[in-house]
Structure 1
């Protein structure tokens, strides 16, 4: 591309502003428009952009009709994704839609069907794939360093959900539930690492600590704040997600471990360390090796996803230019949502959920 790709952002909240900071780092991109119905959010985003020439709109429909953009990032609240995507698909624009693709399987399936005939690139935003230490970890697992993958574990111990405009993220009806809203990232990573499809899900989770004393128009929040989720894959591999959202002081927010028949590999975020531990026998001395994967400082400072937002946008630009494939499809987004929906059902009904129950 000889001219920078003109970007619009739908949703001028925290994630939208993170995209603004990262677009500034990419010479092949230029922010030209923002859409958000909340004036204060637009003001904050315009301040972040630092460019008086950025146009603002109340709706994605008006932004799509403006002729000012070639590509759009959808970073609006989860439950609005389908309504925001409709005019963008109709306009044939390149689209990066933040996770979760949609909050329901019906809407996510609709997005997949739209993407099949879409004239532009459609990309589901899954930042965790693009964290440099995680990407290095995945590459080493796929290269066979641990032998045949048997078990995968992901731990996220972190802070509670932050406040949002209208408090929309306090209710499962708006988010799809924590296992969809937050954890679709990790279910996407499971599929990426295992390179197979899930067949059943068991989740034990509840809202035990966070938001218990909060009330919004008389309503009590209903989002899971801690859970264990086990996912069985078709090839016999099993994966587990350990989520805790009241562990603010944890040294590493994310820990991922893959155990094969010859070795174990782990990655820690934000430390950026990848640790390799081969099987050596019970009495043999350990042969653990540790590698640090550095992240570009500018990319690190431009967001809260360990440099991933920058690298994902970089890959998205390459896909638009036709020099690289789409790495995260609408189908990937749908299947991550499906695992999250299965986990929500499992936690609520206290039973194993087979993916074929959901049509997979």
Structure 2
């Protein structure tokens, strides 16, 4: 990457574009912003994402297209044409369809490098932007077959600059991967949450943390996800077809148990849950490393301002590092259950410190 501050034009100032602008500006990049909505661009500017672009004077070295998936390829082609010396990337979550569209439109694929930061929030728009959105998150760089090495390296270095863990994949490999780890989970969460629409209120009131965990991403933007799923339809369909086979097997097993002819049915149910254990264990752990077996201590935390902060402070004072935290609110109770994950060797020290400081540990 060039030793002087790189000039980056961010096209589209929603959550990803504005967050990237904030992160790059903090790192010393010269960032300019454009958006079809002047108000959105000015809001991103006011949040510290860069300056609103001076269309006449600007000569960017890198253009980052943060437009919706259904128009991203068009904006990439326009950017390649408008700035013939600039490298152009996009941050859409589907890569094959965009690369194909850029090629069909005659875009200069040597200067185009697709990319995908695996970061986001349930909220959208510049108002939800965060400068730390990409820290510790995967960022996939997806070159074309003819992308210039220096163009690939520029995109890679920009992703590294905002704290991402960068990998390089081909477009088809990327789209198949995100179908499994992102797109189908979104659909699964939406399908489970959709079952709640007609459930009686007393039944929904029984919902615990498990349901909240499974359905958290069901709050995502329907319009955006419609575009994403349409662009990656083939890869998503293939995963869903395999999932349907698994569901059919479980349904048949449950039917057998219901009718009393359940020979082999329990094995199917047990194997299904066991396969879930095996798959879940492969999800990377802290800092992207292999998962570590942590011990969990459950502490009752009053639902009052500062209580959770006090717990974490007391843990730090005891010299115990927090590896993970999960908070479950008690139904109708003025407290929550904080599940703090720590290395097993520190459990005894933590329990002693909590007892000395008056915390109630939940058995």
User: How does the TM-score come out when normalised to structure 1?
Assistant: 0.39
Query: Which structure's residues are more often helix, by fraction?
Result: 2
Higher relative contact order at CA 8 Å, sep ≥6: structure 1 or structure 2?
A: 1
Bigger strand fraction = 1
Larger Rg computed on CA atoms: 2
